[in-house]
């Protein structure tokens, strides 16, 4: 008998073509992928990141859970980067709840996810102000907003960060669908179906038991930085989609014998395979947490940047090979490149590289046996 995560991957693979077809429609309409999430809910994917004891499939738990979550995120990224991005935030929020929250809040979130609630992760403050949380009776009151919130107006639960005088805290809020979305002049050119906007949280009353962890836990390492492996895994799926689209089109046009096309396709496959190998290791290191925090963070930081670099190379090669056709609105390469280019803009890439470089200036390179290790 298949374990649940293996069965989930099989079931997800089977609906991949349907998710891919839906991604085209959702992008054209800039619409939230409601139908795709209904399918994911039916498969049990919204509860799957929870531990088995809480009704989940343990995605992300241990070595088996790491490779299962990697597979789920890359499959989703291959089908639709906006769906993968939304699902990645859902996983992140539930993992933080399970790590830092009290039992009661964990059970409530597990129940909600099991019932199909999509959790968002809204932690980006607008440049002009930080979301604040003030004492209000036996709870708290929020003042301010969050920016770049995916699932804005649709996600019904969100893990957010808010500033208290003592530091930054995480909390879970309930949001009524269709409410609190600020009219925003920002329109991202890619990832349109992720519905990324600004959310006004002013006036929301937060009960004390909605808080999780201690001050500063959201930024605690290695979890904070190593979590970037999940968005890189989704990007890897987008890269695979691009390679497949590229191959199909070059073959269809009868251009696969041309040495220039062959050379570029060879480089594309190298970019994909390099990313895949980095991600297999990064997923394991991030999920197992069996090394010191600095080593895990440095490795995952490099993996994230290796995937970013491979995706940027792949888009350049693919656009050169496919030509102007790949820029026609509605061409699959146009949509995937637009989504991928947007999604690759993750926080602080320069700092990420420099920090990882500093680490490896003073420690063994990856793959070097540790002193005392068997």
Ligand X SMILES: Cc1cc2nc3c(=O)[nH]c(=O)nc-3n(C[C@H](O)[C@H](O)[C@H](O)COP(=O)(O)OP(=O)(O)OC[C@H]3O[C@@H](n4cnc5c(N)ncnc54)[C@H](O)[C@@H]3O)c2cc1C
- The distance of closest approach from Cβ of residue 130 to ligand X in the complex, given in angstroms and rounded to an integer, is 13
Q: Which of 55, 86, 58, 56 is nearest to 73 (CA)?
A: 86
* Residue 191 binding ligand X, by CB under 6 A: yes
149 or 297, CB closer to ligand X?
A: 149
* Residue 129 binding ligand X, by CB under 6 A: no
- The distance of closest approach from Cβ of residue 351 to ligand X in the complex, given in angstroms and rounded to an integer, is 6
* Residue 199 binding ligand X, by CB under 6 A: no
Cβ(273)–Cβ(256) under 8 Å?
Answer: no
105 or 160, CB closer to ligand X?
A: 160
**What's phi and psi for 329, nearest 5 deg?**
-55, 130
Tell me the C-alpha distance between 172 and 152, whole Å.
15
Tell me the C-alpha distance between 290 and 95, whole Å.
17
- The distance of closest approach from Cβ of residue 161 to ligand X in the complex, given in angstroms and rounded to an integer, is 9
With b for 16 or more beta-carbon neighbours within 10 A and e for fewer, the 44-64 pattern comes to bbbbbbbbeebebbbbbbeee
* Residue 349 binding ligand X, by CB under 6 A: yes
Stretch that binds ligand X, among 37-45, 62-70, 93-101, 338-346 (CB under 6 A): 338-346
Q: Quick one: which of 137, 165, 183, 347 contacts ligand X (CB under 6 A)? A: 347
Q: Quick one: which of 40, 48, 75, 123 contacts ligand X (CB under 6 A)? A: 123
**Size of interface with ligand X, in residues (CB under 6 A):** 21
- The distance of closest approach from Cβ of residue 142 to ligand X in the complex, given in angstroms and rounded to an integer, is 15
Site string for ligand X, 83-102 (x = CB under 6 A): --x---x-------------
The set of residues, in sequence order, having a beta carbon less than 8 Å from that of 22 and lying 6+ positions away, is 33, 35, 36, 80
- The distance of closest approach from Cβ of residue 225 to ligand X in the complex, given in angstroms and rounded to an integer, is 13
Stretch that binds ligand X, among 15-23, 284-292, 328-336, 339-347 (CB under 6 A): 339-347
* Residue 150 binding ligand X, by CB under 6 A: yes
Q: Quick one: which of 20, 346, 363, 366 contacts ligand X (CB under 6 A)? A: 346
Cβ(75)–Cβ(13) under 8 Å?
Answer: yes
* Residue 176 binding ligand X, by CB under 6 A: no
* Residue 271 binding ligand X, by CB under 6 A: no
* Residue 231 binding ligand X, by CB under 6 A: no
Which whole-number Å values give the CA distances from 75 to 108, 193, 262, 343, in the listed order? 29, 17, 26, 16
Q: Indicate the DSSP class of residue 145.
A: E
* Residue 335 binding ligand X, by CB under 6 A: no
* Residue 343 binding ligand X, by CB under 6 A: yes
Q: What share of the chain is helix, strand, coil (3-state, %, to 5)?
A: 60, 15, 30
With 0-12 CB in 10 A as exposed, 13-18 as middle and 19+ as buried, what is 260?
Answer: exposed
With 0-12 CB in 10 A as exposed, 13-18 as middle and 19+ as buried, what is 337?
Answer: buried
Which residues bind to ligand X, rule: CB under 6 A? 85, 89, 120-124, 148-150, 191, 194, 196, 342-343, 345-350
């Amino acid at each position: 008998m298949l374990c649940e995560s293996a069965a989930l991957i099989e079931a997800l693979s089977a609906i991949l073509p349907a998710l891919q077809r839906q991604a085209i429609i959702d992008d054209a309409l800039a619409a939230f992928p409601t139908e795709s999430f209904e399918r994911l809910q039916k498969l049990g994917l919204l509860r799957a990141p929870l531990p088995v004891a809480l009704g989940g499939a343990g995605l992300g738990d241990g070595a088996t859970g790491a490779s299962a979550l990697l597979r789920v995120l890359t499959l989703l990224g291959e089908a639709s980067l906006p769906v993968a991005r939304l699902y990645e935030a859902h996983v992140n929020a539930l993992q933080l709840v399970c790590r830092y929250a009290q039992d009661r809040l964990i059970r409530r979130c597990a129940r909600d996810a099991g019932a199909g609630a999509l959790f968002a992760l809204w932690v980006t403050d607008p440049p002009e102000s930080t979301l604040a949380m003030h004492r209000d009776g036996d709870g708290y009151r929020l003042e301010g907003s969050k920016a770049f919130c995916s699932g804005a107006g649709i996600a019904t639960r969100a893990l957010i960060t808010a500033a208290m005088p003592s530091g930054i805290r995480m909390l879970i809020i309930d949001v009524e669908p269709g409410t609190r979305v600020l009219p925003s002049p920002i329109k991202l050119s890619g990832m349109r179906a992720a519905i990324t906007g600004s959310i006004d949280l002013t006036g929301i009353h937060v009960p004390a038991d909605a808080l999780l962890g201690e001050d500063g836990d959201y930024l605690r390492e290695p979890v904070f930085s190593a979590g970037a492996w999940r968005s890189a895994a989704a990007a890897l799926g987008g890269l695979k989609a691009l390679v497949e689209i590229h191959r199909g089109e070059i073959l269809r046009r009868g251009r696969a014998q041309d040495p220039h096309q062959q050379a570029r396709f060879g480089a594309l496959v190298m970019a994909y395979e390099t990313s895949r190998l980095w991600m297999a290791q990064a997923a394991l290191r991030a999920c197992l947490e069996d090394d010191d925090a600095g080593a895990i963070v440095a490795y995952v930081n490099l993996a994230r940047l290796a995937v970013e670099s491979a995706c940027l190379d792949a888009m350049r090669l693919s656009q050169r090979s496919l030509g102007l056709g790949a820029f026609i609105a509605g061409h699959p390469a146009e949509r995937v490149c637009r989504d991928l280019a947007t999604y690759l803009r993750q926080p602080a890439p320069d700092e990420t590289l420099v920090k990882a470089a500093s680490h490896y200036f003073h420690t063994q390179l990856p793959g070097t046996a540790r002193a005392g290790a068997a």
